[in-house]
A and B are shown apart, each in its own frame.
Chain A
């Protein structure tokens, strides 16, 4: 009997232990104490006391970062050069002095600011501050040191080109923000070579301004040490007139598609699925960030549960939202098995698109809320985390009290809000996919959209072999192919008529084209799709468009000018377009034509006949930048000229295919202005 009783107790105890324990009591979270003040010269000052260790930390932010630099790479090199000579101290003396007392000072440039971090044992604080003062107030920007730093920067760029994550990250920036955007910058070797000492001095002078800075002191500091630090920065100018204005324009994302970099010998593909996202302070930022956690939360996000734990396609999936001041992007990322690259993209897309196709369950909503609140609160034992979070947020325009009230906002997030933000930002027509991997996967990517190839310098249109032709040679051969310049010059007017079908989201509709061009840059065009007509008139510098009865006068632009010419491509070499033969690929020669306003068109010519095979360009529309590709499928001889008799034009929204006929030098009764 006693034995039975003991056995029963043992079984009961085991059952008890086999159950998941419940939390023992409420969780009394208190936001760490901090103070925000302002120095006499208006530098924002954040103080967080943490006396666990006899260490003082200083974190100084200078606004602007890489987004405001005049030449790419200047902010990075300015940050690096601050410790390479100051006052009477050489770079070596600074390194030896700081290392000598075990202090660490790092200065780095990010998109929105340069940040300097000093960490030092209290017993060596005075010595460290002496050096810090020189670095902040009197950097020397020595030319010889700059040459050394440039050399290191260039080798770091070369190293990045071997790193699939760096390649994917740099290409992602271009895809999301567009070329030449402040947030899409990354230095190439040629950028570094162009940087001179004056560039750094000018950057430093312009942005080291008290109202463009913020200072955090945290750790085991004393009142006396605060005063010493304040004295160091008291000399920084607070002249209202010279306060730098920091602004970043709206992004110009590249069209939907696959952006691919071939990496020889890769055994994995580095995949990034991207969507443009709003600024750090935008109303939608936090709910979209919630979606980021649903996808990418460390061990419980949807990518971890599917891509890794269900399919074993990857070791390290991640996802989330960047946190730049003016605009951001949503990303899902993974290094996946090369053989399942396309399947992995399908899984990632499915997980993201499900965010707006159906609302998340209450269980998942609550689970992610707990994950986010826990991650937020647990970091607060670390004063450096709290300092960086408060300081960065304030600097990006989000007040510390808003940071403090994050948990209240998180608690109130509803699944409908989460779904709404997904609907707004994670739409299928906005997705851009970046892949870095071996050549073998390229063909498998085509099912996701047009594949744009980049090289390891993140230059577009990679994969061409050298061509012996320059642009003059190529256009001359093209002109000969379609009939020769002497015959082309005889054409004073050109009437083009076409019949075919348009395809709008799977619906086929009869389509007709009537197009009349006359010398002197005059064009009338009417495209009739199932009775809905779009008309266009160009009369030298005047343009009107009438779509579905709504007429609008437009500003003339480079594209309209070229379109109004009788044989526009033939005349490219006489235009203001910058022309470059990119090279040959798959029996085609590629010509890049960049208009004075920067719009790029790629013309592909047959490398044996030199007839034009296709042209592709991007056009800004209310749906963002869209890619328009026209293929010249067949050519027929009309009179002395050989002109396309079958064309297909494709945009992400619709396409049309037309059979064309031509008449030369007819006298059509056409006005090149709309009738009143």
Chain B
């Protein structure tokens, strides 16, 4: 009774301090979902087009395609010559970028407010009018292979994610990394790419968010003008995404000639995005491994000094989930010891629970993280698109904190037991080449 009262008061105080983000939604006849959010702080406007396509939507022998489009979408369209998209935006004093993950490909622009039509026009042109042709494809094929070199093959522990995913999600749609297999990219034909584009790049598979300093009515007219004429309103044909059971306790040791220090990576399966357990698991992960007051840092780095780094990487996925804990060894510490220490800290939570103070701490950290990750117009646009895409509920931008605040100490213990205790896992030991 006392605990619930504290939580209620805490939640009330949150509602008093946080300032709600107001938005309007509409759906065009062709299925394009649009969200408008006005923020007149500065004469800046941001657009985000969130396509619901990521690496999980690829065929397992044609990986890297979703990410390839993150590059190709800046090539020519029926109305825009090669290399001009970036030039138009930069010349308007604007900024552009894009990212791809397992579940999404997101295109982002930020421009001075008077240029609001420019990103809308570009997005409408490339939504259905992209030229998937030889020059663009060959150029980007070279660039993407260099990106893989830079991010994966030339980095210490660079192969970790590929190895982790291929074991943790074995046989499933999350078993390969977004960057894809270099051979799949090398061997992809123009037709392969064109088929992928035609299937996934269409209004019914996209969310457009406009955020910043603009006039609502005029902008609504621009949206109708540029996107209203796009007629394709089919849904994409998708692979059936099955959650493949994971039934092994797998350990592999890798000699890495680029790794400076020994490191252990321990991957577990976890709850999928937005599920009840998802919020508890995020808080548990923070308690264990986020920041210098987290349990793993305190024990492994600060107290015992057997590691120089101890942290975690969440795998927040639409249809599945996971978490990777990792520690980088100090000196000659055996990786087996680090692994046992991590397991021991997890067990402690499952057996002894956590204090209210510790729970409150992680909720406070989450609250400020949520606030500061929705500070500028682009961040807000991305969040609104994400909440719409995964939960069909953009209002979560204001209310998601309530979900975290409703978590109890028992919830934390339960997810620890459910996902991390006596569970199958993937352990990757990285050893520097002597």
Interface contact B360-A100, CB-CB below 8 Å: yes
CB of A377 within 8 A of chain B?
Answer: yes
Q: Which residues of A contact B89 (CB under 8 A)?
A: 299
Of the candidates A19, A100, A366, which one forms a contact with B364 in the assembled complex, judged by CB atoms under 8 Å apart?
Answer: A100
Cα–Cα, bound, A25→B357 (Å) = 54
Output the nearest chain B residue to A14 by Cβ-Cβ distance.
B229
Expressed in whole angstroms, the Cα–Cα distance for A392 and B366 within the complex equals: 30
The answer on a CB contact under 8 Å between B116 and A161 is: no
Q: Do B146 and A313 have beta carbons less than 8 Å apart?
A: yes
CB distance from B146 to the nearest CB of A (A): 4
How far apart are the CA atoms of A50 and B42 in the complex, in Å? 11
Does A52 sit within 8 A of B, measured CB to CB? yes
Quick one: closest B residue to A312, CB to CB? B142
- Max chain B Cβ within 10 angstroms of own Cβ: one of A17, A18, A101, A378: A378
Q: Could you say which of A23, A158, A380 contacts B261, with CB atoms under 8 Å apart? A: A158
Residues A152 and B301 in contact in the complex (CB < 8 Å), given A28-B43, A163-B156, A381-B376: yes
B75 closest partner in A (C-beta)? A309
Tell whether A600 is near chain B: CB-to-CB under 8 Å. no
Evaluate contact between B139 and A335: CB separation under 8 angstroms: no
Report yes or no: A52 in contact with B41, Cβ–Cβ below 8 A: yes
Q: Which residues of A lie under 8 Å from residue B147 when comparing CB positions?
A: 315-316
Q: A52-B19, A162-B156, A297-B90 are in contact. Are A378 and B110 (CB under 8 A)?
A: yes
B113 at the interface (CB under 8 A from A): yes
A670 CB to nearest chain B CB (Å): 61
Question: Hey, which chain A residues are within 8 Å of B357, CB to CB?
Answer: 100
Contact partner of A159 (CB less than 8 A), chosen from B112, B225, B260, B364, is B260
B28 lies within 8 A of chain A by Cβ? no
Smallest CB separation, B398 vs chain A (Å): 12
Cα of A309 to Cα of B42 in the assembled complex, Å: 33
Instruction: Determine whether A203 belongs to the interface, using a CB cutoff of 8 Å to chain B.
Output: no
Report which of A24, A32, A267, A370 forms a contact with B117, defined as CB distance below 8 A: A24
Q: A100-B357, A100-B361, A124-B364 are in contact. Are A264 and B302 (CB under 8 A)?
A: no
Give B116-153 as 1s and 0s: 1 = Cβ < 8 Å from A's Cβ atoms. Answer: 11101100110000000000001111111111011001
Task: Name the distance in Å between B84's Cβ and chain A's nearest Cβ.
Answer: 9
A394, CB-defined interface residue at 8 Å:
no
Per-residue 0/1 for B6-17: is the Cβ within 8 Å of any A Cβ (1 yes, 0 no)? 000000010001
Interface flags, A13-40, vs B, CB<8A=1, else 0:
1100111111111111100100000000
> For A99, what are the chain B residues with a Cβ–Cβ distance below 8 Å?
291-293, 361, 364-365
Within 8 Å by CB of A24, from B80, B116, B302, lies B116
For the complex, give the distance between the alpha carbons of A3 and B307 in Å: 76
Q: How far is the CB of B220 from chain A (nearest CB, A)?
A: 14
Q: Select from chain B the residue with minimum beta-carbon distance to A160.
A: B260
Q: How large is the interface on A (under 10, 10 to 19, 20 to 34, 35 or more residues)?
A: 35 or more
Q: Are B83 and A268 in contact (CB under 8 A)?
A: no
Bound state CA distance, A314 and B260, in angstroms?
Answer: 25
Task: Using CB atoms, name the residue of chain A closest to B213.
Answer: A381
Alpha-carbon gap, A299 to B94, bound state (A): 11
Quick one: CB contact mask for A225-265 with B, threshold 8 Å, 1 for yes?
00000000000000000000000000000000000000011
Is B377 engaged at the interface, CB distance under 8 Å to the other chain? Answer: yes
A95 interfacial contact with B, CB 8 Å: yes
Closest to A308 in B: B143
Contact B42 A381 (CB under 8 A): yes
**Per-residue contact bits, chain B 246-282, to A (CB 8 Å; 1 contact, 0 not):** 0000000000011111000000000000000000000
Which residues of chain B are near A300, meaning CB under 8 Å? Answer: 86-87, 90-91
- Tell whether B44 is near chain A: CB-to-CB under 8 Å: yes
Cβ distance B390 to chain A, nearest Cβ, rounded Å: 24
Measured between alpha carbons, how far is A25 from B142 in the docked complex, in Å? 40
Enumerate A322-339 residues with CB–CB distance to B below 8 Å.
335-337
Chain B contacts for A14, CB-based, 8 A: 229
Shortest Cβ distance from A301 into B: residue: B90
Q: What string of 1s and 0s marks CB contacts (under 8 Å) between B63-102 and chain A?
A: 0000000000010001110010011111111111000000
Q: Are B360 and A155 in contact (CB under 8 A)?
A: no
Residues of B within 8 A of A268 (CB): 146, 149-150, 154
B371 to chain A, nearest CB (A): 5
A663 at the interface (CB under 8 A from B): no
Give chain A residues whose Cβ lies under 8 Å from the Cβ of B330.
Answer: 151, 155
Which has the most chain A C-beta neighbours within 10 Å: B13, B292, B328?
B292
| B305 partner, pick from A151, A310, A335, A367, beta carbons under 8 A | A151
> Whole-angstrom distance between the alpha carbons of A309 and B75 in the complex?
10
- Given A52-B19, A102-B367, A151-B330, A27–B139 Cβ distance below 8 Å? no
Q: What residues on B are CB-neighbors of A95 within 8 Å?
A: 291-293
Q: Which residues of A contact B110 (CB under 8 A)?
A: 378
Q: How far is the CA of A356 from the CA of B211 in the complex (A)?
A: 42
Q: Which residue of B lies closest to A310 (CB)?
A: B139
Interface status of A54 (Cβ within 8 A of chain B): yes
- Contact, CB under 8 Å: B90 / A367: yes
Name the residue among A23, A92, A122, A264 with the largest chain B CB count within 10 angstroms.
Answer: A23
Chain A residue numbers with a CB within 8 Å of B367 are: 102, 121
Distance in Å from the Cβ of B411 to the closest Cβ of chain A? 19
Tell me the residues in window 304-321 of chain A with beta carbons closer than 8 Å to chain B beta carbons. Answer: 304-305, 308-316
In the complex, B372 has a CB within 8 A of chain A = yes
Chain A positions within 8 Å of B363 at CB level: 102
Q: Is the CB of A123 within 8 A of B146?
A: no
Q: Is B226 an interface residue (CB 8 A)?
A: yes
Residues of A within 8 A of B (CB): 13-14, 17-29, 32, 50, 52-55, 91-92, 95-96, 98-104, 119-124, 148, 151-152, 155-156, 158-159, 161-164, 264-268, 297-300, 304-305, 308-316, 335-337, 366-367, 370-371, 373-375, 377-378, 380-382
Can you report 27 A-B residue pairs in the complex whose CB atoms are below 8 A from each other?
A17-B121, A23-B92, A23-B117, A23-B118, A27-B43, A52-B19, A55-B372, A95-B291, A101-B361, A121-B368, A123-B13, A159-B261, A268-B146, A298-B90, A300-B86, A305-B83, A308-B143, A309-B143, A315-B143, A315-B150, A337-B146, A337-B149, A370-B93, A371-B90, A371-B93, A381-B42, A381-B376
Q: Which residues of B contact A (CB under 8 A)?
A: 13, 17-19, 39, 41-44, 74, 78-80, 83, 86-96, 110-118, 120-121, 124-125, 138-147, 149-150, 153-156, 218, 225-226, 229, 257-261, 291-293, 298, 301-302, 305, 308, 328, 330, 357, 360-361, 363-369, 371-372, 375-377
The 8 A-B pairs of least Cβ separation, nearest first, read: A374-B93, A312-B142, A102-B364, A299-B86, A381-B42, A21-B117, A162-B260, A155-B308
